[in-house]
Amino acid sequence: MNEFKAIYEKDGLGAAVALVQEKVNELHNTELHIAVTGESGAGKSSFINAMRGLQSIDQGAAISGITETTMEPASYSHPNLPSVCFWDLPGLGTLNFQADMYLQKMNFNKYDFFIIISGCRFRENDVKLAKEIKRLGKKFYFVRTKIDNDIRALKLEGRKFNTKEELDKVRDYCVSNLEKAGISTSAIFLISNFKINKFDFPALKEAFENDLDDIKKHVFLLSLQNTTMEIIEKKRNELKKQIWMLAILSGAVGAVPVPGLSFACDLGILAKTIIDFRKHMGLDDASLQRLADKTGKHMENLKEVVKTPWLGEIRKEFVKTALLSSRYAAISAAEVALDWMPVIGSIFGAVSSFAVTYKFLNDVLDDLTDNAKRVAKAAFGID
């Protein structure tokens, strides 16, 4: 906002709008590269599929199996956000990739952070990886998969046990092994790749989020599947941060007049924004189908709880009709509280286009958020 004000005062509205467009492009084009590594058979591919909301049988899913399936670093883009890419690195310590050659071949500098996965306990190769990653100044996380198998085994044995106590034992065991090998950490995440709302999976995603800078955090949050109400709310908050910029572009760049109203806006920007918001909120057909497959629900049942006019095809004419409703036609700049944004208020004070677009997109986002929560409740049975 300070940059916007400075450029506006120096070079005028055109230059300030160009700055906003640059910032929007930066948000859309920021890449996030996440490396998933560890010994062969630890569950790397299944983890990548879980983070992308896919099953192993889905098109574009990471290949998983009981044998060594990854022979070269394989990239898997997020189905909704291609700029978010997970890298399945070959299993370390196999006959094909000995530890002393592994670090040289994997080009570690390209990744934003690393996830070191083990299916039982962390071994010498995992420690070597962690030390090299630390030397590069990169962030890494130890993830112990297949924890559901451990709990299931205890049940099959007919033993009486406290789940939390058993998990603490596994975590302490992992920490002890790493400390003996020279890695001091208490951050061991115990997960199941098939129970994404249980054990430490939610805490792991929160740890990723907290350790990223603002722009990459924004991208990462939008890539998450709507498995909790908290994730949905975080997405809404992130998208709300964009709306004032999109309102500037809509009101000042395209200036496509809407007959009968006292404002001008770019209907193309609004239509594209609605489509993007819908996708980020998991309400497009592809996202709903992936969620249905993941939770074993019928897609039709998920669609039944969606009560929004923004589910079908979004065209400029459709957006124009919505804007022509009395609700938006009556909005003036004064009706939208711009006191918290005095720079915008002073620039657009006499023009209602910014105010209308700003209010319109906020209403659309709130509506999509409410519907995303209804879908999550239907899919996961959460409150």
Q: How far apart are CA 18 and CA 173, in angstroms?
A: 55
**Strand order across the 84-88 sheet:** 74-77, 84-88, 32-38, 113-118, 139-144, 188-190
Taking the C-alpha atoms of residue 295 and residue 291, their distance in angstroms, rounded to an integer, is 6
What residues are paired with 32 via a beta bridge?
84
Structure tokens at 149: 């198998």
Helices 353-380 and 267-280, packing angle to 10 deg? 20
In one-letter notation, the amino acid at residue 257 is P
Predicted pLDDT of residue 345: 55
Distance separating alpha carbons of residues 222 and 82, to the nearest angstrom: 12
Residues of the chain with pLDDT under 50: 95, 254-256, 262, 333-335, 337, 339-340, 349-350
Q: pLDDT value at position 254?
A: 43
Which letter does DSSP use for residue 110 in this model? G
Is 116:129 a contact under the CB 8 Å cutoff?
Answer: yes
SS3 content of the chain, % helix, strand, coil (to 5): 55, 10, 35
Q: If you count them, how many residues does the chain have?
A: 383
Query: What's the pLDDT at 236?
Result: 98
Q: Where in the chain are the domains?
A: 2-27+225-380, 32-217
Given this model, what pLDDT does residue 339 score?
A: 44
Token couple for 243 = 């709306």
What confidence tens digit (pLDDT) does each residue in 21-38 have?
999 999 889 999 999 988
Of all helices (H) and strands (E), which one includes residue 118? strand 113-118
What is the CATH topology of the domain spanning 32-217?
Rossmann fold (3.40.50)
**C-alpha span between 54 and 62 (Å, rounded):** 9
Residue 378: name the closest of 278, 291, 309 by CA. Answer: 291
- Count of CB atoms within 10 A of residue 214's CB? 9
Look up tokens 């896919």; give the residue: 54
Cα dihedral across residues 118, 38, 294, 231: positive or negative: positive
91: amino acid identity, one letter: G
Specify burial of residue 202 (Cβ count, 10 A radius: 0-12, 13-18, 19+): middle
Contacts for 233 with CB less than 8 Å, ≥ 6 apart? 369
What is the per-residue pLDDT for 340? Answer: 46
